[in-house]
Amino acid sequence: MLERYLKKILTARVYDVARETPLEEAKKLSIRLGNTVLLKREDLQPVFSFKLRGAYNKMAGLRPEQRAAGVIAASAGNHAQGVALSAHQMGIKAVIVMPKTTPPIKVTAVRGYGAKVVLHGDSFDEASQHARALCDEKGYTFVHPYDDPEVIAGQGTIAMEILRCRQEPIHAIFVPVGGGGLIAGVAAYVKALRPEIKVIGVEPDDAACLAAAMEKKRRVTLPQVGLFADGVAVRQIGRETFKVCRDHVDEVVTVSSDELCAAIKDIFDDTRSIVEPAGALGVAGLKKYVAERGIRDEHLVAINSGANINFDRLRHVAERAELGERREALFAVTIPERPGAFRKFCQVIGQRPITEFNYRYADADRAHVFAGIQLADGDEERAAVLEALERHDYPVIDMTDDEMAKLHIRHMVGGSARVEDEILYRFEFPERPGALLRFLTAIGQKWNISLFHYRNHGAAYGRVLVGIQVPYGDRGRFRDFLEGTGYLWREETENPAYRLFLNQG
C-alpha cells in the first residue's frame, strides 16, 4: 500500500493551483514548550486551506467525457472552495451542494470561483445525500472530500514538502483529522520514507471518529459530533483513509474547544495570522502531547490546515483562549453580605487580576459571586487559589471546566427565582433565519419556558439554555419529545452554577 501511495504522491498534479507553503518556526511557542515547533502554513493557500490539493489532483485525472459532464461535491466550506477553484482553472462545470446553515461568506467565496451553489439540508450528511442524487441524475463526477485515493495522494504532497524542507530529525508531525484524507496522505508518505517520524492525529474530543475507530479496530459511527471545529465535524472516518491510518498512524490526541481557542491565539502570537478551529488542531495536539510526555529539545511539526473563520466567531475564541491556556479560573464564591466583604475576598485572591466579577444579592446574610481570576501558572495556581478560599471558609465551586457556566451562566448572573417544576436543558440547533423562532415554537407549544439564554457565537449552530416547567409526572413524555426534535441536548438541572445563581428551589 505504501509503495502505491508513494508513487501517487510523487506524481500528483497539484501545483497548477496550489503553492508550496513554508515550514516556519513558531519562535515564541518553541521557547515556551522547550522544543522547536515548526508550522506548515497551509493557511496560506489561495483558498486558505489544504483542500484544493486533493480536489485538483482528483479532477486532473478525469477522462475527457467526465470533464465535459462536470463535477459535483458536497461541502460546507474548504473542500467546496478547493473544487470550485480547481474547476475554474480547468474550465470544468462545478456544482457544490452546501447545507443551508453554511455562513454566507463561504457561499459567496464558492460562487466567486464560478461554481453553481445548491443549498440543501441542515447538515453535511443531508447535503451529501442530495449531491449523490444529483450525481446519478445528471451524470456528474463526484469529488469526495477525503475518501478517494487521488484526493489522499494530493493531500500527501504536504508531507513531501515537509520532508524536502526539513531533512534533519523530526520527532513527530501533528495532523488535523476529520474524514482522514490529510492524515492518510501524510502517513503514507512519511512512513514510506522516514518511518522513525511519528505521525500523530489530532481531533476535537467531541468529534473523535479516528480515535474511536482505532480503539475498536474498525470504523464506527459517532452518534453525534460537536460543531465548534466545523471543518472536521465528521461522524465516521473514511473507508479508504482508515485502511492507511490503522497501520501507519502512531497515535491520536484529542483536544477540547478551549484548547483549540488557546492554540488559535498561540498561532496568532507567532504569525499574526488567524486560523479556523480545525486549522489549529495540530498546534493544540502538539501542546497537549508535550505537556503529557514532558519531551524537550525535539523538532515538532504542526500542520495549520486552514484559515476560513468567520470574523464574528473571534469574540468566542478570544473569550475562551485564556481558559484553554489555563490562564483563567472561574469560581462561584459565597461571601458575607456586609461592608468590606468584597475587599476581604480580593485580599484572599492576592495580587491576581480579576477578569470578571458578577454579583447578586442572595439574602440579608450572603451574596453569590461569579469570579474570573487571571492565572500565571495554570492549574497549580488555580488549586492554590481554591485552597486559599476554602482555608478562609468561603463556600466555593470551581467552574473552570463547567461548559454551561462558561457558555451561559457568566452572562446571566443577576437574578434567581423559585420556579415550580423547572428543569434546565442546553440545546444546539441549526443557525439560520427563522431557526430560533421554530425552536421556541416547538418547545413552547406544550410546556412553559421559564428561563431562556441565547447568544450568537458566529457558528453554524446556535447554543441555547432553556428552563422549562414540566410536572414530574410528565417528564417521560417530555423526554420522548426531546428525542423527536432532532436537536442536540443535555440536561443541566443539577448543575451547581444553576442552583447557585438562578434557582432558589
Catalytic positions, please?
51, 305
Virtual torsion, Cα 153, 155, 161, 162, nearest 10 deg: -120
Enter the C-alpha cell of residue 255.
Answer: 483536544
Q: What is the DSSP letter of 417?
A: B
Q: What phi and psi, each to the nearest 5 degrees, are found at residue 54?
A: -65, -40
Nearest Cα residue to 153 out of 193, 198, 189: 189
Q: 10 Å Cβ neighbour count for 185?
A: 33
Give the containing element (helix H, strand E) for 39.
strand 36-41
Burial of 31 (0-12, 13-18, 19+ CB in 10 A): exposed
Query: Which three-class secondary structure string do you get for 255-302?
Result: ECHHHHHHHHHHHHHHHCCCCCCHHHHHHHHHHHHHHHHCCCCCEEEE
Q: 10 Å Cβ neighbour count for 60?
A: 18
Residues in contact with 458: Cβ distance below 8 Å, sequence separation at least 6, in sequence order: 310, 311, 312, 313, 314, 315, 316
Report in angstroms the alpha-carbon separations of 2 from 35, 156, 194.
30, 12, 12
CA–CA gap between residue 77 and residue 96 (Å, rounded): 10
Q: Name the percent of the chain in helix, strand, coil, to the closest 5.
A: 45, 20, 35
Instruction: Kindly calculate the radius of gyration of the chain based on its CA atoms and give it in whole angstroms.
Output: 25
Contact by Cβ (8 Å): 119, 430: no
CA–CA gap between residue 20 and residue 321 (Å, rounded): 30
CA–CA gap between residue 28 and residue 26 (Å, rounded): 6
Residue reference for cell 467552574: 399
Question: Starting from the edge strand earliest in sequence, which strands make up the sheet with 198-204, in order?
Answer: 23-25, 36-41, 299-304, 172-176, 198-204, 251-255
- For 284-398, strand residue ranges (E) read 299-304, 328-336, 354-361, 366-374, 396-398
